[in-house]
Amino acid sequence: MKPLVAAGTAGAASLALVAGLWLAVSGSDGSPSADAASLPTGPVVNTSLGLPTPTGDPELPGIRGLAPASGTVGRLAGPFDDRFVTRGVTFDGRALHGSLTVTSDVSEILALQVLAGFYDADGRFVGQARWDFRPPEEGHEEGHPDESVDFVVEVPAKLRGRAAAASYGVTNLVNE
């Protein structure tokens, strides 16, 4: 019977230790102490930077001032340019077409946003549109991940007939 007594004594000692720790962080009546009550319970938000919270879709600097010649496509610099290449980018007056391949690693594209700027025959900015990619919800497929995607950014209806040139850049790229 001695082993049971020893185990019981060790269990009682452990219980006493846990109870002592609980009393150290709570009030004498078992309620949280003032220190514990002052701890944040919601999401942590950093407000010390003094920066405004972003709203809307991301923009690319230079979209309004690029001024590509009629019938051409310009490229806008963006934060993800070192992670992909584009091929076959064309503009037919109705839409910007192209293909993007991730080069930074071998992984599936999870989210992609292409921003297109449209310009009149004199190179003046007349508007913009976006194309967003999200993979199908079915889950992962076996085999090699899909690192390439074809994109089409259509000219908004109100700009049709005025858009004579285009520019493009990537404002969002998420891959595994």
From the list 127, 75, 134, the residue with the least C-alpha distance to 108 is 134
Type and span of the H or E element at 3? helix 2-25
**Do the beta carbons of residue 165 and residue 73 sit within 8 Å?**
yes
Residue 5 has pLDDT above 50, yes or no: no
pLDDT for the residue 6: 47
Distance CA(108)–CA(35), nearest Å, equals: 47
Strands (E), the chain: 73-75, 84-91, 95-102, 109-119, 125-133, 148-154, 165-175
Mean pLDDT of 103-116: 88
pTM of the predicted model, to two decimals? 0.67
Q: 153 has which bridge partners?
A: 96
Choose the weakest-confidence range: 34-38, 110-114, 118-122, 146-150: 34-38
pLDDT in tens, 57-93: 889 999 999 999 999 999 999 999 999 999 999 999 9
* Residue 83 burial (C-beta neighbours within 10 Å; 0-12, 13-18, 19+): middle
CB atoms within 10 A of CB 38: 8
Average pLDDT on 153-175 reads 96
Band (pLDDT 50/70/90 cuts) for residue 11 is: low
